[in-house]
Amino acid sequence: MPFECSQCGECCSHLGLVHTIKKAYGDYHFMVNNEYTGEKTEVTVDPDKIALFCDRSIFLERPEACPFFRFDQTTAKGYCTVHSTRPEICRDYGCWRILILTADGKRAGRIMCQRFLASEDERLTRVFSEQIDCLTGLDDTAWDERVIRMLGAAGYTVRC
């Protein structure tokens, strides 16, 4: 089953520690700095989310939230107000439990929270379907440990 975002906001609730606004240009246009990588990204609040962006009440409940994350009380869902221009790290995020890299450090795929593989790497897809997809009866910790060993034996490295 592929991952579907429930818009709970957990992924963005602490990204205020990662993303900081370095400059406000006006007209809802900002320079954002990634505090871990130093990467700078220009973002603009999506026109349909300006009213939501102006509501800063999220920070009372979630003080470490991304400066562009807002929670809409009427829909009970979280929204990225700069979704169209969001930083690369946010584009890559997908609630993965295991990130899989090739031997040279390139991303080969991700195992999502529900033990689903998201990958376009044919070899990895084959390893997953032949060796990993059939693992049953293991709790999450044991499953993760077994999968990490199997992926290592197949020449991949992982990040959890």
Are 17 and 68 in a shared domain? Answer: yes
Name the pLDDT band for 93 (thresholds 50, 70, 90): low
Are 87 and 27 in a shared domain? Answer: yes
Are 36 and 61 in a shared domain? Answer: yes
Residue 28 in domain = yes
Residue 5 in domain = no
Residue 68 in domain = yes
Residue 148 in domain = yes
Residue 130 in domain = yes
Are 34 and 52 in a shared domain? Answer: yes
pLDDT at 108: 87
What does pTM read for this prediction? 0.60
Are 48 and 31 in a shared domain? Answer: yes
Which residue range(s) make up the domain with 55? 10-92
Are 104 and 152 in a shared domain? Answer: yes
pLDDT at 41: 95
Exposed / middle / buried, residue 67 (Cβ in 10 Å: 0-12, 13-18, 19+): buried
For residue 104, give the DSSP letter: T
Q: Mean per-residue pLDDT for 69-87?
A: 91
Q: Express as a percent the part of the chain with pLDDT over 70.
A: 92
Are 131 and 151 in a shared domain? Answer: yes
Closest by Cα among 21, 22, 20, 13 to 35: 20
Are 102 and 147 in a shared domain? Answer: yes
Provide the domain count of the chain.
2
